[in-house]
Structures are given as C-alpha cells and as structure tokens.
Amino acid sequence: MENGVKETHAKLLGELVVPSSSWSLHPEKKPAFKSKEQVVDYVTVNSEPLYIHVPLCGKDASEDEYVRVIVNSKDEDVVFKITDREKGGDTRVHGSHIKNLNSTILELVSQSLKDGRRAKPL
C-alpha cells in the first residue's frame, strides 16, 4: 500500500493517538477521529494517508501551532513524513514497533525544528 494505511496499523494508531490529550489523528482536511472504531471504519473504505497533528511547545511556540505528520503503510512498515516545516523529514517503523510511536514522532519532529520549539509528548 503506497497511499494509505493498513487496517492493522490504523487500529494501533487509533488506540494510541485518539485517547491522547495533546495529539490528534485526522483524515485529510477533516476533524479528528473520536474513536479507534472511526479510524478503522475510515481506512477500510478509503485508501488515503492519515495525519497526526503534533502540537509544539517551547520557545515562541503558540498554543495552536502543530506539526502535521503524514502516515502511510508500505508493506509491513508504517511511514511517517513531515513536509510542511523548515527541514521536513521521514522515518519508518515496522508495524510491530508502532507502540514506540511517541519516541519515533518526537525524534522526527525535533529533527525538523531548529529554533528551540519541540513536540509535546503523546
């Protein structure tokens, strides 16, 4: 799958991100999912990437500022990509390691920011 998220990956993302008080999981240009069931229902009929909105904190970060991380599945890997920041970047983890989402995304975001701002943890 090049341009979407596998159902198994989506379920795990929903379990981790949806209950978060800081991060949110979205379909493109739509409100955040409210339950992991919504996430799974969405990916079963849509072959599109998902988006994690990761809020920023630290030096000069406004309350509503976030980094948008694009999420796709490629074979058994989950691919995370930032395209809308100074540097951007991407990383991938095997689907079995998606439970390490917090550290994976925090590292990816910190690599893309150079000005003292950082990502809020999951």
Residue type, 35: S
Taking the C-alpha atoms of residue 116 and residue 8, their distance in angstroms, rounded to an integer, is 35
Condensed to tens digits (0 to 9), the pLDDT of residues 15-60 reads 999 999 999 999 999 999 999 999 999 999 999 999 999 999 887 7
Token output for 63: 């309350």
% of the chain surpassing 70 pLDDT: 95
Whether residue 110 is predicted with pLDDT greater than 70 in this model: the reply is yes
Whether residue 99 is predicted with pLDDT greater than 50 in this model: the reply is yes
Question: Cα 115–70–28 angle (5° rounding)?
Answer: 115
Q: Is the model's pTM score more than 0.95? A: no
